Copies of this chain bind each other. A is one copy, B any other.
Amino acid sequence: MTRPYSTRVAEAVRAKGSACLVGLDPHLPSIPPEFQAVHDPGATRAERAAAVGDFLVEVIEVSAARAPAVKPQSAFFEALGADGAVQWERVIAAAHDAGLLVIGDVKRGDIGSTAAAYAEAFLTGVAGTDPRTLCDAVTLNPYLGSDSIAPFLQACQTHGAGLYVLVRTSNPSSHELQAVGSPTLAEQVARLVGRWGEGCVDGAGVSSVGAVVGATHPRELARFRALLPNTPFLIPGYGAQGGAAEDVVPGFTDGALGGALVNSSRGILYAYRERQGTPWKDATRAALEDMAESIGGAVARTFA
Contact = CB atoms under 8 A, between A and B. Distances in A.
Interface stretch (A61-69, A75-83, A290-298): A75-83
Interface in A84-120: 84-86, 88-89, 107-115, 117-118, 120
Interface string A15-39: 0000000000101100000000000
A41 B177 CA distance: 46
A2 interface: no
27 contacts: A25-B113, A27-B117, A44-B128, A45-B126, A45-B127, A48-B126, A75-B110, A75-B117, A76-B114, A78-B117, A79-B121, A82-B89, A85-B86, A107-B109, A111-B171, A141-B141, A142-B177, A143-B166, A144-B166, A145-B171, A147-B171, A147-B173, A176-B192, A177-B188, A177-B192, A181-B185, A185-B185
Given A25-B114, A117-B79, A177 B185 contact: yes
10 closest A-B pairs by beta carbon, nearest first, are: A145-B173, A45-B128, A85-B85, A145-B176, A75-B117, A78-B121, A111-B171, A82-B85, A146-B173, A147-B173
Nearest to A147: B173
A175 interface: yes
Interface of A: 25, 27-28, 41, 43-45, 48, 73, 75-76, 78-82, 84-86, 88-89, 107-115, 117-118, 120-122, 126-129, 133, 141-148, 166, 169-178, 180-181, 185, 188-189, 192, 236
Q: Which of A76, A80, A111, A121 has the most CB of B within 10 A?
A: A111
Nearest to A144: B169
A180 to B, nearest CB: 6
A144 B171 contact: yes
Contacts of A166: 143-144
B173 A79 contact: no
Contacts of A45: 126-129
Contacts of A115: 75
A79 B126 contact: yes
A141 B148 CA distance: 13
A85 B175 CA distance: 34
A142 B82 CA distance: 26
Contacts of A112: 171-172
B146 A111 contact: no
A267 B181 CA distance: 38
A249 to B, nearest CB: 22
Contacts of A171: 111-112, 144-145, 147-148
A154 to B, nearest CB: 15
